[in-house]
Amino acid sequence: MRIQTGFEITYDCPAPVPMMLTLSVHPSRRGDLETPDWVRTDPPLDVRQYLDGFGNICSRVLAPAGRLTLSADFVIRDSGLVDDHAPDAPQIPVQDLPDDVLIFLLGSRYCETDRLSDMAWTLFQDTPTGWGRVQAIVDYVHNHIRFDYQHARPTKTAYEAHAEAVGVCRDYAHLAIAFCRCMNIPARYCTGYLGDIGVPTIGVMDFSAWFEVYLGDRWYAFDARNNRPRIGRVLIARGRDAVDVAIANTFGQANLAGFKVIAYDLPEAA
């Protein structure tokens, strides 16, 4: 499968402002790119890239005063297969987890395990361990939160998402991640492209949030908002929560003036 993918984001900046961007395809998917995913700027700017502590590609720019448009437009190949399904994947005891996985058991800015631990154990202690427990968490979060863009805000935490029972894909992911961590299941936040491939069109395209859990000897993708296997996830970044994978951190005033994301399947090349 070939997926046409990209974005166009416009800011109005009253004064020059440094920006840190997380908009490039994750290193694990770069071998699938048919065309480059370069971050373009209008006006042209120097773009310097580096790998952050989670292995994501970040870009640094100094935006001038005035209007700045960031964009990319590329084609990436995908297997066309739905998310992996492994109902027998076991939960690994904490003492046997790899060292680099342990950080994804800890509370973080948007995933307050300390505030949700008692609730998590009350809700999920009687569920089967491993895959079955994660699926029970996903089912609960999917049914508990009502999706509504009008209730999105950048400060909403997992605890608040549960209390308000409404939010967007990042809120579903944060709550599911927090519950998994409370139950000693490593979970990490993912952001990327997820077009309406193989499912009915569900609205205006945006970057998507899902999460991964460590079961057996590997990570598996779960999606509490959609709660169904999906085709064509294109990963941009992973981290503890949305703090680590924000598409843009601006160190000064930058007013969002335009936002467009695309991801749709193309015919196979002749």
Those residues with Cβ within 8 angstroms of residue 230's Cβ, 6 or more apart along the chain or in another chain: 82, 83, 194, 197, 198, 199, 223
Segment 244-248 mean pLDDT: 97
Model pLDDT, residue 20: 98
Q: Residue 193: which of 244, 247, 155 has the closest Cα?
A: 247
Q: In one letter, which amino acid is 115?
A: R
User: What is the pLDDT, as a whole number, of residue 169?
Assistant: 96
Query: Are the C-beta atoms of residues 192 and 234 closer than 8 Å to each other?
Result: yes
Does an H or E element contain 4, and which? strand 2-13
Distance CA 140, CA 158 (A): 13
**What pLDDT is recorded for position 65?**
98
Residue 149 or 36, more confident: 36
State pTM to two decimals: 0.95
Q: 4, 267 in Cβ contact below 8 A?
A: no
Q: Dump pLDDT digits (tens) for 74-100.
A: 999 999 999 999 999 999 999 999 999
Pick the CATH number of 2-79+247-265 from 3.40.50.2020, 3.40.50.620, 2.40.110.10, 2.60.40.2250: 2.60.40.2250
Please state the domain extents for the chain.
2-79+247-265, 94-234
Which CATH class, in words, describes the domain spanning 94-234?
A: alpha beta
Do residues 193 and 29 lie in contact, with contact meaning Cβ atoms separated by under 8 Å?
no
Average pLDDT, integer, range 204-231 = 94
pLDDT per position as a tens digit, 111-147 = 999 999 999 999 999 999 999 999 999 999 999 999 9
Q: Do you know the residue count of the chain?
A: 270
At 202, the pLDDT band (50, 70, 90 cuts) reads low
Convert the pLDDT of each residue in 140-183 to its tens digit.
999 999 999 888 899 999 999 999 999 999 999 999 999 999 99
Q: Which pairing describes strands 146-147 and 166-167: parallel, antiparallel, or unpaired? A: parallel
- What average pLDDT does the structure give for the chain? 96
pLDDT score recorded for residue 270? 54
* Residue range 16-44: mean pLDDT, rounded: 97
Nearest to 18 by CA among 55, 45, 50: 45
Average pLDDT over residues 23-29: 98
Q: What is the pLDDT of residue 269?
A: 63
Using alpha carbons, select from 11, 4, 6, 5 the residue that is nearest to residue 45.
11
